Amino acid sequence: MKNDRSLARKRHSRRQGKATTNSLRGKTAIVTGASRGIGLAIATVLAREGVKLALISRTPPPPGLDEAFLECDLADPARIPDAVARALGQLGGLDFLVNNAGIFLEKSVPKISLADWEKTLRVNLTAPFLICRQTLPHLAARKGRIVNIVSSSAMQGYLHQSAYVASKHGLLGFARALALEARPRGVHVYNLCPGGVDTGLLQGTELGARLKGQPMIRPADLAEMVAFLLRQPANVDLPEIAIRRFV
Ligand SMILES: NC(=O)c1ccc[n+]([C@@H]2O[C@H](COP(=O)([O-])OP(=O)(O)OC[C@H]3O[C@@H](n4cnc5c(N)ncnc54)[C@H](OP(=O)(O)O)[C@@H]3O)[C@@H](O)[C@H]2O)c1
């Protein structure tokens, strides 16, 4: 009887107990596209949290983060395996992968050249596939996590953005299927789908002009969301998050 009561008390305190969140200190992460914009904000927050970083892009991030820089043009699939291998060597094990690098294309369908189409898909979809394929065993070894910076363009069509929209629908579809393979290996896959974020991505575009002066999502706010996701306990999943501008 006494034992029953103490077991019930333990169960109750477990249920009512404080939320468990993981510290990020000492963890390792690859972040793509951290030279500016959202990726730079994510790298800045992860560095603040004590995460050891490898940052893959064509140009380096600003001083303070540049030591973690690994140069690679993600539009060239042949160059990716070496860059990822260098990142893994530098980090000595992988807890987190943030697929963030991306390019925007705003052209009506008749004006999209095959080269435009293929480049958009190579950077936004093929590169995350190749990086996930190479890093999954390393992430599985540490029950790690993948964060994809997708887009609201993965959930609806937008005028004159068919290549970009296709690449982001493709990325979300790939990530949904990947999650089924990753789950039994203890690896979480999170997909963030933001609307307009205040970066240079849309500069000089019709969409950028339409959004001018309107409230935008701040890169730092997205970066804090990434840190929040990475801190979540393993028994909780937040697979897809739509983040809209509140106007
Ligand atoms: N801004 C938005 O409104 C918005 C909304 C939804 C989703 N997103 C997504 O968020 C991600 C980041 O976008 P952002 O707004 O931060 O754009 P951004 O400011 O233009 O930054 C893009 C980043 O991707 C890297 N990148 C681009 N092409 C690359 C290539 N060929 N090889 C390697 N790295 C490359 C760039 O680095 P280098 O130029 O140095 O290579 C840069 O660090 C993208 O996937 C984008 O689709 C953005």
Kindly tell me if the per-residue pLDDT of 229 is higher than 60. yes
pLDDT of residue 20: 79
Residue 222 belongs to a domain: yes
Residue 186 belongs to a domain: yes
Please state the atom number of ligand 1 nearest to the C-alpha of residue 217. Answer: 3
Ligand 1 site, residue 147, Cβ cutoff 6 A: no
Residue 2 belongs to a domain: no
Kindly tell me if the per-residue pLDDT of 235 is higher than 90. yes
pLDDT of residue 3: 61
> Which of 226, 230, 245, 239 shows the shortest CA–CA distance to 33?
226
Place of tokens 């293929």: 118
**Mean of all residue pLDDT scores within the chain:** 95
User: For residue 187, how far is its CA from the centre of ligand 1 (angstroms)?
Assistant: 25
Close Cβ partners of 183 (under 8 Å, ≥ 6 residues apart)? none
Q: Which domain holds residue 149?
A: 26-243
pLDDT of residue 1: 52
Mean predicted confidence (pLDDT) in 42-56? 98
- The pair phi, psi for residue 205, each rounded to 5°, is -105, 165
Place of tokens 């260098």: 86
Structural domains counted in the chain: 1
> Which of 63, 152, 145, 46 shows the shortest CA–CA distance to 99?
145
CATH number of the structural domain spanning residue 188: 3.40.50.720
pLDDT of residue 6: 58
pLDDT of residue 90: 97
Kindly tell me if the per-residue pLDDT of 141 is higher than 70. yes
Residue 98 belongs to a domain: yes
Residue 141 belongs to a domain: yes
Please state the atom number of ligand 1 nearest to the C-alpha of residue 194. Answer: 6
Instruction: Give pLDDT tens digits for 155-198.
Output: 999 999 999 999 999 999 999 999 999 999 999 999 999 999 99
Residue 3 belongs to a domain: no
Q: Is 158 a catalytic residue?
A: no
Mean predicted confidence (pLDDT) in 128-146? 98
Kindly tell me if the per-residue pLDDT of 7 is higher than 80. no
Residue 77 belongs to a domain: yes
User: For residue 201, how far is its CA from the centre of ligand 1 (angstroms)?
Assistant: 7
Kindly tell me if the per-residue pLDDT of 18 is higher than 90. no
User: For residue 20, how far is its CA from the centre of ligand 1 (angstroms)?
Assistant: 33
57, β-bridge pairs? 71
